[in-house]
Amino acid sequence: MSAISDDSPLVPVNRRRSLFAVLLFLALSSQALSQGTQERVYMLNDYDYNTGDWYNDFFGNHGVWEYSSAHCTITYPQVAGYHHELRLDYDVTAPSSAGGWWELFTYSYSDPNTPMYDLSSFSDLRFSVRAAPGSTSRLYIEFVQGNYEKIKRVEITGITGTMKEYTISLATALSGFDRKRMKSVASVIENGHATALTGTLFFDNLYFTASEPVPATDDALLDLISKRAFRYFLECVHPATGLVRDKASSTDVTSIAAVGFQLAALGIGAERSWITRSDAAARTRQMLRTLLHTKHDASASGSIGYKGFFYHMLDLPTATRAPGSELSSIDASLGLAGVIFAREYFDAPLDPVEAEIRRLGDSLYLRFDWQWMLNSARNIFYMAWYPESGYDLPQWDYLTDETTLICLLAIGSGSVDPAVFYAWSRTPGSYHGATHYQTWWGSLFTYFFAQCWIPGKQLGLDHGSPTAVNWWENSRAAALTDRQFCIDSSGRYMTYSMNSWGLTACFGPTGYNGGFSKSYGAQPLADAPANHDGTIAPYGAGSCLPFFSEDPSKNEAMAALRNFYYNYPKLWGIYGLKDAFNLGTRADTTDDWYTDDYVGIDSGPLLVMIENYRSGLVWKYFSRNAQINNALRQVFQDTATFTSAGEINVGMPQAFRLEQNFPNPFNPTTVVSSQLPVVSNVKLVVYD
């Protein structure tokens, strides 16, 4: 670290305060306001999860630094329950030595050592610190702009054995800085400044505050939640492939399902003017080029997929198979759903980038070999295939919204008979007198993954025999039952209430889905009992918005989102509502647990379903696709109000391009491709 630059003494807050109590007070105060501003908290590091994590809550790196023979170590001792703090043991007895902890504000693929982050929206930096007996009573907090272009140190004095919170005004401390290009913050214990050259300091709750407008309406709150979720799909992207991270903390791997939601997010962002249409189109084209042109074959490594399907997990820099990943029918289908949406949304007839998006989208859909993934003996789809061992034994033989999506995509291709939609088991389940067709684990996502894309409310009954089913109403019933199950279980679990529900796959205190392969869910379910431990994922209830009243004041999911935003400030972060939280049971005193991460397949459905509730955008463009439109007409009864792709008036195409055939025309087979600027009826005549 560098020498002292414009030192400024700082007076500590001389009374211990519980951060959560302060945050809750701020949240409740702002909730009572009908207008004006509120102070929101953005945690940089609360140290609760850093026993092995490389990242902080801004997904930047963190660690310890030493200069000129200093010795520093950091550990994260437990305070209580899930609450940890940072312990810094230091020795700066050597002349000119110095050391401390450091935090980067973000992660950069192009320059990992000098990432830039915009702090201009934040008002203060706050943190708490206490000293072990015989340790220094003062230190510096150091800010760095860019590649050490500017450095500012703020002196912290009056450190005692009692934990105290300090506030640094960024407007004052960073006066003259370009706050849009900030790199890091660090503690500095320096020989020549420290009052004790060896010792131990304890730090907790390093966070920024921001003065933000109070959402004046429910729609304004939805806009805020959506815009923050969109930022995840905009910022957590690898420049080489254009693909989003599987989760915010995973800088080297993506999920093809998350990529599908990323494609939808770009269209939503363009529609909402959060990004220019041209930028969204350019990003979409890069993604589709990656998906189509990355090696695609049966190789166990170095390939993106096989037979049109994609591997579930992909190496982010190369878009090739992550070690051990399966070729997944559902995750590939979610990726394809995003491709189809993008193919329809970017419909400008004369824009060359959007025209290429449509060509790429068509090629990707046509490449899927649905018959290859179908178990023809049972007329159901395999869940997965491995290049080392072939098809996985589990198959899609039980109701889930995932099966619905796979079947519709396959039927739309024209290569699979619509009977495939009725081959899986339809088993009703009941909870306290309420009955719906249940899924295997009762997880909410298994009732809305297809509903993210298809306008289920308009479709009515399917053509099932002897019983036709309205799958939209079935999903709505499942959401209401999930809510009731949480209400009934609230006597034990602190997190559950009438406005805190949504049992679905997510992070939990002891791992993903609580460390079980079975995802979180509610009764009824086929594989009883339900796996639940008090963990709630905001995307679960939030993704159910469209199932309830169009009046947000009467919408059960809207009530849950209000509750999450206003009453649980630690649940809010740089990308909006975090993945999950758990307040424990009423019988224990365990500290509350909040994840610090975001997941693409969780933030994605939340963003998509909020937008569908507000405008129907994703439903509109996905169902406009000719193949999807045809599949919906074959499977559902109430499709008379649909506009088929052939009925869309796009005008007479004025341009045509014929590509060179490949391979050599003397081969047994050859391919001749052509391009039209718009979807249109054509007459093709082949002469021998």
Domain spans in the chain, listed from the N-terminal domain onward: 9-213, 218-635
Q: How many CA atoms lie within 13 A of 47 on its CB side?
A: 25
Across the range 342-360, mean pLDDT stands at 98
CB atoms within 10 A of CB 437: 20
Across the range 277-296, mean pLDDT stands at 99
Residues 6+ apart with CB under 8 A from 361: 288, 339, 340, 342, 343
CA atoms of 645 and 89, how far apart (whole Å): 67
Mean of per-residue pLDDT scores for the chain: 90
Domain 218-635 coded CATH 1.50.10.140: yes
CA angle 41, 47, 51 (to 5 degrees): 150
DSSP 324-345: T--EEHHHHHHHHHHHHHHHHH
Q: Which of 433, 445, 535, 449 is nearest to 486 (CA)?
A: 535
CA atoms of 452 and 606, how far apart (whole Å): 9
How many Å is the Cα radius of gyration of the chain?
27
CA atoms of 541 and 225, how far apart (whole Å): 13
Across the range 576-584, mean pLDDT stands at 97
Contact 637, 359 (CB under 8 A): no
Six-digit token string for 371? 């018959």
CA atoms of 659 and 672, how far apart (whole Å): 6
Over 90: is that where the pLDDT of 632 sits?
A: yes
| Cis upstream peptide for 466 (omega within 30°) | yes
User: What integer pLDDT is reported at residue 365 of this predicted model?
Assistant: 98
Residue of 530 and 22 predicted with greater confidence = 530
Residue 394 confidence class, pLDDT cut points 50, 70, 90: confident
User: What integer pLDDT is reported at residue 104 of this predicted model?
Assistant: 97
Q: Which of 618, 604, 619, 613 is nearest to 221 (CA)?
A: 613
Q: Which of 245, 259, 263 is nearest to 597 (CA)?
A: 245
Across the range 453-468, mean pLDDT stands at 95
Q: Dihedral sign, CA of 567, 573, 576, 581? A: negative
Q: Which of 71, 268, 63, 69 is nearest to 185 (CA)?
A: 63
Residue 393 confidence class, pLDDT cut points 50, 70, 90: confident
Contact 582, 533 (CB under 8 A): yes
247: which strand partners? 599
Residue of 35 and 34 predicted with greater confidence = 35
Q: How many CA atoms lie within 13 A of 139 on its CB side?
A: 30
Contact 320, 374 (CB under 8 A): no
Span 305-328, pLDDT tens digits = 999 999 999 999 999 999 999 999
State the virtual CA torsion across 440, 442, 446, 451 in degrees, nearest 10: 130
Over 70: is that where the pLDDT of 436 sits?
A: yes
Span 171-184, pLDDT tens digits = 999 999 999 999 99
User: What integer pLDDT is reported at residue 650 of this predicted model?
Assistant: 36
State CA 427 to chain mean position distance. 31
Residue 115 confidence class, pLDDT cut points 50, 70, 90: very high
Largest CA distance in the chain: 95
Contact 294, 288 (CB under 8 A): no
Single-letter amino acid code for the residue at 114: T
Span 134-182, pLDDT tens digits = 999 999 999 999 999 999 999 999 999 999 999 999 999 999 999 999 9
DSSP 249-274: T-SSEEEHHHHHHHHHHHHHHHHTTS
User: What integer pLDDT is reported at residue 14 of this predicted model?
Assistant: 34
Over 90: is that where the pLDDT of 684 sits?
A: no
CA atoms of 338 and 242, how far apart (whole Å): 14
Q: What 8-state DSSP symbol labels residue 518? A: S
CB atoms within 10 A of CB 329: 28
CA distances (Å), origin 258, targets 312, 335, 452, 578: 10, 7, 13, 16
Residue of 17 and 595 predicted with greater confidence = 595
User: What integer pLDDT is reported at residue 665 of this predicted model?
Assistant: 55
Q: Which of 326, 339, 235, 343 is nearest to 290 (CA)?
A: 339
Q: Would the pTM count as exceeding 0.85?
A: yes
Six-digit token string for 288? 């589709």
CA atoms of 86 and 187, how far apart (whole Å): 12
Per CATH, the architecture of 9-213 is what? Sandwich (2.60)
CA atoms of 379 and 417, how far apart (whole Å): 9
What is the three-class DSSP state of 605?
Answer: helix
Residue 23 confidence class, pLDDT cut points 50, 70, 90: low
Across the range 90-109, mean pLDDT stands at 97
Across the range 192-204, mean pLDDT stands at 98
Helix (H) or strand (E) holding 71: strand 71-75
Q: What 8-state DSSP symbol labels residue 634? A: H
User: What integer pLDDT is reported at residue 588 of this predicted model?
Assistant: 83
Q: What 8-state DSSP symbol labels residue 382? A: B
CA atoms of 682 and 663, how far apart (whole Å): 25
Over 80: is that where the pLDDT of 374 sits?
A: yes
CA atoms of 167 and 290, how far apart (whole Å): 46
CA atoms of 59 and 61, how far apart (whole Å): 7
Q: Which of 506, 332, 503 is nearest to 405 (CA)?
A: 332
CA atoms of 595 and 586, how far apart (whole Å): 20
Q: Which residues of 563-588 are buried (b: 16+ CB within 10 A; e: fewer)?
A: bbbbebbbbbbbbbbbbbbbbbeeee
Over 70: is that where the pLDDT of 638 sits?
A: yes
Residue 42 confidence class, pLDDT cut points 50, 70, 90: very high
Contact 241, 292 (CB under 8 A): no
Residue 639 confidence class, pLDDT cut points 50, 70, 90: confident
Contact 426, 473 (CB under 8 A): no
Q: Where are the alpha helices (DSSP H) in 66-119?
A: none
Over 80: is that where the pLDDT of 444 sits?
A: yes
User: What integer pLDDT is reported at residue 520 of this predicted model?
Assistant: 98
Residue 81 confidence class, pLDDT cut points 50, 70, 90: confident
CA atoms of 42 and 619, how far apart (whole Å): 33
Helix (H) or strand (E) holding 370: helix 370-373
Residue 642 confidence class, pLDDT cut points 50, 70, 90: low
Residue 26 confidence class, pLDDT cut points 50, 70, 90: very low
Q: Where are the alpha helices (DSSP H) in 625-683?
A: 626-635
278: which strand partners? none
